[in-house]
Chains A and B, each alone.
Chain A
Amino acid sequence: MSIEEKQSFPAYQDSNDLIYPQDEKDVSNFIKKFYKSNLPIEIIGTGSKRKIGKPLQCDKILKLSKLTGIIEYLPEELYIKVKANTSIKEIEKELKKNKQQLAFEPIDFGYLFTGESNYGTAAGQVACNISGSRRFKSGSVRDHVLGFRGVNGKGEIIKSGGNVVKNVTGYDLSKLICGSFGTLVALTEITFKVLPAAAESQTLIIHNEKMESAMFLLNSAINSSNDISGATFFPSEQTVFGCEMNIKQTFQLNDLKHEGSLTAIRIEGSKNSTEDRINNLKQELKITDFNISLLHTHQSEIFWNKIKSLEFFSSSKNSIIRIVTPPSECIKLMYQFHNKFKYYVDWGGSLIWLEAFELSEQMFESIRKKVVRFGGYMTMIKNSNYLPYVEDVFTINKDRFIISQNIKKSFDPKRILNPGKMYTGI
């Protein structure tokens, strides 16, 4: 029997540890079995984000790759209901036919982990809740999940939410599932809110600004009424030991006129509206045409795609850290990191991506302390060979740990779903 044939066989089991349930009922039956026999399991889709979080050593792996396909897509109702393991690529392709999109900009970790694009699956995006550059305007993954179905740690099929945006019937478990890294339920079905895609995208790039003035510009742009949907800063090619600097190489675009740091502001909408708002911005920010580039739709989309696929770090073998902070604290934090790490800033100063060469656990903890002191949090997204294992990949305090532990128990009393993926003991 070939692998494909085996995989089409009901409840195919590959070797002793890889299990491919065929449908939701199957997922439930397997988890019931593991619940009875106290066997912890790892839940994976395509595995595109599997390396985020602590590595698991479970007896069995529940691979949900059979749960694919669009169940229902009603463009005029602004939702798409998919089986959990449907690829984001397939979803976006379908949405594009109706000029719609997932407005949270699904992030592509493929380049970072394997060197080629891989957006992964719907469930993977939900489980990680890591959103693209439009976050500050349109919200995160969690703001676009209208409902879900899944199987809890006792093998019970549960659902929450619905197909409509306005819904306060019962607890909003969709939010809780987002960013839970498969530790609460094995997702089987997800309903996403979808939105019209803008006809045009324009990106205003201001060259050679220093970090301080760049942050001022980004903040002023977000605080204006020009409804901007991207605000990022790439510093000039500085020398950071052990890190390859590659802004020029990453952003090889015809309309990018100058070298040096990039302060980029995106505007999306209809043609008239984007042109209006770009002109407004130039006036309000007192920018002259001398030192700017303007990317029109085609190049603008390429530019932001490179950001959401983290191409800036694609060739790196170093540790990659994601820091989220209140925008006001960004500069203070960056003063501490300058010249030590390769970095770029997104979400107008609220999101910092760092690449660190030979990052020791001590250094990692020292960064975390600073981030927490400034009111933010951080996650180790990719470990390096130098630091292959970090005990606390995620940041949490004692109160929240206890509450989270209680919540975990309410879904998964025997801690069999991805145990320890996020925190030891959860």
Chain B
Amino acid sequence: MTKLIMPKVDRKLILKKEEIVRSLKKIIKAENVLDHEDQIRPFETDGLSAYKQKPLVVVFPENTKEVSKILEYCNNQKIKVVPRGAGTGLSGGALPLVDGVLLCLGKFNKILDIDYRNRCVVAQPGVTNLSITSVVQDKGFYYAPDPSSQIACSIGGNVAENSGGIHSLKYGTTTNNLLGAEVVFMDGTISRLGGKAYDSEGYDLLGLVTGSEGLLCVITEVTVKILKKPQTIKAALIGFSTINDGGKFVSEIIANGIIPAGMEMMDKALIHATDNFVKAGYPRDAESMVIIELDGTKAEVDELIERASVIAKKNKSSSIKISKNEKQRLKFWAGRKAAFPACGDMAPDYYCMDGTIPRGKLAEVLNEIGRLSKKYNLPVANAFHAGDGNLHPLIMYDANEKNSLEKTEKFGAEILKYCVKVGGVLTGEHGVGVEKRELMCEMFNNNDIQQQIKIKKSLDSSSLLNPGKVFPILRKCAEEGRMHVHRGKTKFSSIPRF
């Protein structure tokens, strides 16, 4: 494991652990406070399992009032709090702190209201993403954002990370599908943002907290928009003999005014791995493969499939297979959705990156990833939400080899820096967390980061809610306030700053 610098540990709090546990047991049911070594071990990491750290204590509040009281107590006692949903996040956003309370929302697992008249569902944050679609699908509705972890990830976590998924090209990410939320701020204030009406007046606080990675508030209820399922959905598997051709096809589809419901791309390594895994019937001879999904009325879908086929042929596609029925369409997707586990078959460990680039740079970035793969001598498999330029290179390594994770992380960082260089961003849907916080300086300058920190401080004056995430910690840029410069000499002058 590489060394990760986290906020300075408050030793006094660790010494006061028993007192803190006692106090928390007065606020919520004693059985909902876990403090024994064996009880808290399962919570030492989230989806970014490279980093592990046990929390001081784990709490499971059962209602909003309890969350409010816990936060108020922690705020008064200056105890750090890390909120956690299902713990499936891939950027270490729920990594606990040794001197902090881990606030788990697992008991917030109920759907509170299914409102077809207003086309929304009100749910507690611990409800899984897929359950929302499950409760409305009998009436032909669904919830659009569908991260590949949708079977396990929680809707509260989706809001905190602004999760996307395969269909976000056409239907947007969480922020575009959220109508309201109940949140609790660090001082214990409970606030309702939005509701069942569109937009809100005044500052768009709902928009601000969506994707704020648990640094601004704890989400205790969400109201999400549901959509009626399209009449017809068809998917096509299109193989290409070069990666460049696949990339050009993706760009041309958009340039031709087609917005597919989903457009995914995989490279040869992943085509084989996933096809071995689920036998999806992928074109194994292709260098790259695109899955394109089109929805609408039957006539519309047939017309779009025809247009997509013409564009594919123009870009020298080696094969085109169109789903004949719903079963086959789901089979096409099963391979893509199994991309991560399939990688597990290829190497003992893999590290999933998440940058977004302009679609037109796809081939260029893939070539660069290939070059870096040789430089670091680590194989990569590539899966992308190609329609919206969101890349997921999966770097394969063996954690048992000395320094392999460090090498992998360096490789990953170089990919992300390249994404920014070509006009993209560091993270499309996984969040910054601890994983990419030091890279924030690649995208933002000091003013930009300071403005974000000021917002954080305006809602959490002592920086107690999920500290150590998102913002860089004294590596390349100062987190707290301005640097003090003595007689023109900066500390650690060899470190580049902005």
Contact = CB atoms under 8 A, between A and B. Distances in A.
Contacts of B230: 225, 227
Interface stretch (B25-33, B69-77, B451-459): B451-459
Identify which of B251, B428, B470 gathers the most chain A CB atoms within 10 Å of its CB. Answer: B428
Interface residues of B, number: 90
Contacts of A100: 257
A166 B164 contact: yes
A277 B198 contact: no
Given A169-B432, A195-B259, 16 more contacts: A143-B175, A158-B451, A160-B452, A164-B358, A165-B168, A168-B161, A168-B211, A168-B430, A172-B208, A179-B199, A222-B119, A225-B228, A273-B296, A350-B197, A399-B191, A423-B202
B64 interface: no
Nearest to B140: A225
B163 to A, nearest CB: 8
A71 interface: no
Nearest to A399: B191
A170 B452 contact: yes
A324 B197 contact: yes
B208 A350 contact: no
23 contacts: A100-B257, A158-B451, A164-B358, A164-B389, A167-B427, A168-B161, A168-B173, A168-B428, A169-B443, A170-B448, A171-B216, A173-B451, A175-B210, A179-B202, A180-B204, A225-B229, A269-B300, A273-B300, A276-B300, A280-B297, A376-B197, A403-B185, A403-B459
Interface stretch (A72-80, A309-317, A357-365): A72-80
Interface string B349-367: 0000000111110000000
A78 B263 CA distance: 15
B286 interface: no
Contacts of B447: 156-158
Given A157-B447, A166-B164, A324-B197, A172 B202 contact: no
Nearest to B120: A326
A379 interface: yes
Given A76-B254, A175-B204, A272 B117 contact: no
A233 interface: no
A38 interface: no
B42 to A, nearest CB: 26
Contacts of A394: 201-202
Contacts of A135: 198-199
A219 interface: yes
B360 A74 contact: yes
Interface stretch (B78-86, B397-405, B418-426): B418-426
B201 A179 contact: yes
Interface in B230-276: 230-231, 251-252, 254-255, 257-259
Contacts of B298: 276
B200 interface: yes
B462 interface: no
B115 interface: yes
Contacts of B189: 399, 402-403
B207 interface: yes
Interface stretch (A15-23, A62-70, A296-304, A406-414): A406-414
A176 B203 contact: yes
Contact of B201 (A142, A396, A403): A396
A224 B119 CA distance: 11
Given A225-B140, A406-B458, A129 B198 contact: no
